[in-house]
Amino acid sequence: MKAKNALLIIDPQYDFCNPQGALFVPGAVEDMQRLSQFITRKGDELAQIFVTIDSHPVNDISHPNFWRDSQGNPPPPFTQITLAEVKEGRWIPRFEAEKATQYLADLEAQGQFPHFIWPEHCLMHSKGGAIDDMLMEALRQWARSGKQYIAVEKGTYPLTEHFGIFQAQIPVADRPETQLNTSLIEALMNYDNVYLAGEAKSHCVATSLKQAMDYAPALAQKMIVLTDCMSDVTGLGHLGEPIYAEAKAKGIRFAASSNA
């Protein structure tokens, strides 16, 4: 019986994949070229494609405008903000101060990612949030065979980051959009193989893989990581390395797109 294959593409958006984007990931242009070629070549074997869409408000906890220093200045992009600095008054949240401080406490206790300030990126319904043009053309051609790609939005709640597609870094009890996306897990479980690709390797792809291993291990075992269709945020590749090492130790498959 022919295997049922799905492709899960993480955040293939202008701000990550275009050199003019707000948070361009070096290597992403070539990643999108290879991924588009993969879809064109393997389209008949792909029963479904899922595309995740990072989508943020301007006043997101990871954006400069959310914070001020003691002189009223916003932090530059790529500043790390710690709980200790907030308690000292070095950085002050402009919105929901109590919740923002608790978020930092919970994030540091989790121990996976420090809290970085990013350039404003993938703003809701903006050009920066749009699917990469080259990939969009490949998706369009694939869909014309009678299929439909499925877009899955994440990141809309401003008081927690949402790297992985399956849940926010720190889920919020009364915000379902931050909690474990069981419907997506159930949808992906319908396939024998789930190819995984997208941006960035160090953050959103790695965290999606980690969440699958933690919350849906049977799904994680179906995954095939397309190693040449993702790249790291410059200087932060080390954040994802332990996750990929764990995946390899658990027998999750890795392959170049040309060999998958």
CATH of residue 231's domain is 3.40.50.850
Neighbouring-strand partners of residue 58:
none
User: Is the pLDDT score of 203 beyond 90?
Assistant: yes
Together in a domain, 87 and 208? no
Together in a domain, 82 and 191? no
Mean pLDDT, the chain, whole residue set = 96
Together in a domain, 209 and 103? no
Identity of residue 92: I
Q: Which of 110, 140, 175 lies at the terminal end of a domain, its last residue?
A: 110
Together in a domain, 82 and 22? no
Identity of residue 46: L
SS3 210: helix
User: Is the pLDDT score of 69 beyond 90?
Assistant: yes
Neighbouring-strand partners of residue 8:
50, 196
Count structural domains, the chain: 2
Together in a domain, 47 and 74? no
SS3 203: helix
Work out the average pLDDT over 240-245. 96
Together in a domain, 69 and 52? no
Confidence grade of residue 113 (pLDDT, cut at 50, 70, 90): confident
Q: Are 222 and 188 in contact (CB under 8 A)?
A: yes
Q: What percent of the chain has pLDDT over 90?
A: 97
Classify the phi-psi angles of 198: left when phi > 0, otherwise alpha if psi is within -120 to 50, otherwise beta: left
Neighbouring-strand partners of residue 204:
none
Together in a domain, 149 and 229? yes
pLDDT (tens digit, 9 = 90+) per residue, 145-193? 999 999 999 999 999 999 999 999 999 999 999 999 999 999 999 999 9
User: Is the pLDDT score of 217 beyond 60?
Assistant: yes
Together in a domain, 106 and 208? no
Residue 115's CB: how many other CB atoms inside 10 A? 21
pLDDT (tens digit, 9 = 90+) per residue, 123-133? 999 999 999 99
Global pTM? Answer: 0.95
pLDDT at 5: 97
Confidence grade of residue 260 (pLDDT, cut at 50, 70, 90): confident
User: Is the pLDDT score of 1 beyond 80?
Assistant: no
Work out the average pLDDT over 33-60. 97
The answer as to whether 116 is a domain residue is no
SS3 5: strand
Distance from the first to the final alpha carbon of the chain: 18
User: Is the pLDDT score of 234 beyond 80?
Assistant: yes
Together in a domain, 202 and 245? yes
The answer as to whether 260 is a domain residue is no
pLDDT at 2: 63
Together in a domain, 31 and 73? no
Together in a domain, 32 and 138? yes
For the chain, how many residues are written? Answer: 260
Better pLDDT: 227 or 2: 227
Q: Which domain holds residue 16?
A: 5-56+122-255
Confidence grade of residue 74 (pLDDT, cut at 50, 70, 90): very high
Q: Are 46 and 6 in contact (CB under 8 A)?
A: yes
Tell me 61's DSSP state.
T
The answer as to whether 115 is a domain residue is no
